[in-house]
Structure 1
């Protein structure tokens, strides 16, 4: 009898090299923004795309023993990327796995976790990567903020068993911090990036960004860090900035003090999408290549959630108006926009919240469906530093693909709900299998599962929009 430990099962592992599949006859929308290419074959060997060409140019005989998948009449797009999720605030492994499974079967093959309890997120990333769980690949950030931020209750939720601000995934930074050591500790979590969050002046933001880049990490930041303004965050070298409505603070005349003491929103000033201070900021972002993680539909979702506080709902609606206007202005200015949701886990939803973000960008922000898909694929891949591996349908990239039964260029919303098959690293996941498992509301699945498992640890709640921006 062997003494070797039995490994965990990997039913969702990447396809092995030598397992060749020809996806034939689809209209391929490659994620670059180019029009669809009808009658196209995508050849996948293991987890990689090895050929993309017109059907007439690909002879199946050249791939002896390959599996042929007929996609005539279907549309093939790259796997979608959610560039703003939170999977462990507070940690709840069953909820996180259920959310990730739902997202994968809805077309999301990659996600960016924007700081959580990385002890759990790191293991989720490992389990997703090797195929223990059905989930998108995960990239994640370790957070840094000023010491005054750490009275926020979320910092305790993600630091159970440790001290908030004094652990590698969530560090308080001040003028006495050894930044090379702090960044090295963040890097030791296997994070892709440092997330610069709140209560830091501009010079400290710049110092953190410079050291993170020196050590090979990306820099993801709140669009306003308080007291650091958006223009200062961009000038510091942030690779991406989150939450479009935080950009209004570029035009704030008085001093910015703390994350918790934001100046009131002047909706009338920004609702037209033509404020000159914001236009200058967008010019700087375009020149530097700073990606806007807009989370544009977030405030509409908060307003729709209702509740007893009518004044809070009205504030959320005002934020939603500004969100649409500023995101449209950013798009017109040539700023690259990724598609993040910042949506709290909700297992009553049949489809990923990312679908709503994509439709919002099209219907409210003036982006064409092909531009939206480019944001959700190529730009999403750039936002997490993975564009060499994913984000487009081209030779050499990972075989992260979504088969749709409807044309997204004609009706984006309908097409996103027509997912037939999701391919992640060459491993196929059929939407029908998800539905037969009962994992949709109205069946003994998502709704019941939410009730059963969400109570183990209370799911995070969105803060009052009067004082807080979601994570």
Structure 2
């Protein structure tokens, strides 16, 4: 009797809290909804609490708002979904001030979501919690627990993210071999509250397939490198992994021989790609489209490799930006869902997120229109995280993750740099509140 009474009181309190959530009306902006549809407006977005309740155009809908509602005049502004960086590393090695400074810059630059692609999850989990409850200004963080073959754990990075424990024997980074009980391994990974399992390196195709099958059986997605060595791209795609990172790794399908281990990679054999669209790559892309596999292209990485090679000609990169852009263009034309990830940060003195540079590269080198680039950083980014996202586009019922700009980014992707307001889960973060110089020292990596 006492229990049922307590439940009734809880239900009443929850209903009262829901009623108390104020309405916020963002009025008369030009809407870019993240689906690739052209801008439309003026549009009005009604937000209640952390979700979008209604979207309408002109005078299509009129009703009386409660007296405590807030109306934000967005006339002359452009509104798009909050951006999503589908490839970040916030804690390799852990450095809390550095991570918080990067996250703050991202949020005030319109980034409301990130995929953290395996780090020291002891820190990342707490960053995710602090962001979610509003202790720090930061995007929502969706993070992965990593699985790789035992040989990978010779990598010094795995020691940095496992301090105090044995590399390869932590729930957030596990060495997998033929003796591993995958049911237990996936359960341990899920226990970190990870959004997904990342399949990284030094695993044969059959083991990648087994990991994916068990992860899906337990209801958790799998994010993987496009080649896991010795597992080829075709084997990773066939395994059913939900999202693949690093477009150039697809080229290893036509390289000879395919590297046998992550740390023994020769550069991709560009000559074997030939001219124009490569038919072998085309077959892989067709399979990805059919399966709904998302491609996290990371052109930002390959631009960085080109810069390092220019500074040190002896350091030949495993792939160039030109090849990466060509493969990404082929993937786009094949209808593969592409997300926008950086796997790195813009320079400390840059007041804007590195994600802007990834979008610039998609437009300037890979044939994307600005609208397609925006879609990669919104709807595509959301799908890289989960198959059925409640964020990434602007529609009733979705999270109120919004970015307002003074100029039209669908005409010029550089207009993202005119951001004036970010809204994450209904909470407003005006750009005018952000001082990038205040966190400059913290953004410098050790």
Bucket of the pairwise TM-score, normalised by the shorter protein: over 0.9
Q: State the secondary structure of the residue aligned to 2:260.
A: coil
Name the counterpart of 1:129. Answer: 132
TM-score (norm 1): 0.88
Structure 2 contact 222–241 (Cα < 8 Å) conserved: yes
3-state SS in 2 of match to 1:57: coil
Partner of 1:431: 431
Q: Which residue of 2 aligns with 1:72?
A: 75
Aligned mate of 2:299, from 296, 299, 321: 296
Deviation at residue 262 of structure 1 after TM alignment: 1.5
Q: CA deviation at 1:17?
A: 5.3
Closer/same/farther in 2, CA of residues 376 and 272 from structure 1, 3 Å limit: farther
Identify the range of structure 1 (350-359 vs 267-276) with the bigger mean alpha-carbon deviation: 267-276
> TM-score, length-normalised on structure 2?
0.92
Question: Alpha carbons of 1:241 and 1:120: their partners in 2 closer, same or farther (altered >3 Å)?
Answer: same
Deviations 1:385-412 (A, max 9, x none): 1743101110011100000100012111
Corresponding residue number in structure 1 for 2:92 = 89
Residue matched to 1:281 = 284
Which ranges in structure 1 are unaligned for 5 or more consecutive residues? 1-14, 459-471
Residues in 2 aligned to 1:386 and 1:20: alpha-carbon distance in whole angstroms? 29
What is the DSSP-based 3-state SS (H/G/I as helix, E as strand, rest coil) of the residue aligned with 2:261? coil
* Contact residue 75 and residue 403 of structure 1 kept, 8 A: yes
Runs of 4+ in 1 over 4 A off after TM superposition: 305-308
Tell me the CA shift for residue 373 of structure 1. 1.1
Once the two structures are superposed, residues 184-229 of structure 1 have per-residue CA deviations (whole angstroms, 9 ceiling, x without a partner) of: 0000000011100000001000000000001111000010000000
Specify the alignment match of 1:350 in structure 2. 351
Cα pair 2:115 2:141 within 8 Å, conserved: yes
- 2:103 is matched with 100
1:28-43 alignment runs, 5 A limit: 28-43=31-46
CA distance in 1 between partners of 2:99 and 2:276 (Å): 37
Retained in 1: the 8 A contact 2:300–2:343?
A: no
Tell me which of 198, 202, 223 is aligned to 1:199: 202
Partner of 2:265: 262
Deviates more, 1:267-276 or 1:351-360: 267-276
Checking the alignment, whether the CA contact within 8 Å between 1:16 and 1:46 is kept in structure 2 is no
* Other-structure match for 1:322: 323
Taking structure 1 as reference, are residues 67 and 222 closer, same or farther at Cα in structure 2, changes over 3 Å only?
A: same
CA shift, 1:426, in A, is 0.5
- Deviation at residue 63 of structure 1 after TM alignment: 4.0
2:7 corresponds to:
none
Alpha-carbon distance change, 268 to 255 in structure 1, aligned in 2, over 3 angstroms: closer
Structure 1 residue 394 and structure 2 residue 387: aligned? Answer: no
In the other structure, the counterpart of 1:4 is: none
- 1:113-155 per-residue CA deviation (whole Å, 9 max, x = no partner) reads 0000000000000000000000000001000000011100100
Match status 1:447 vs 2:403: no
In the comparison of the two structures, how many residue pairs are matched? 429
> Is there any run of 5+ residues in structure 2 with no aligned partner, and where?
1-17
- Distance in 2 of aligned mates of 1:296 and 1:308: 19
Go from structure 1 to structure 2 and tell me whether the alpha carbon gap of 1:121 and 1:369 turns closer, same or farther (over 3 Å shift).
Answer: same
Between the aligned partners of 1:255 and 1:373, the Cα distance in structure 2 is 34
- Higher mean alpha-carbon deviation, 355-364 vs 177-186, is at 355-364
- Pair 1:272–1:23, CA change in 2 (3 A): farther
Q: Aligned in 2, Cα 1:278/1:380: closer, same or farther, shift over 3 Å?
A: same
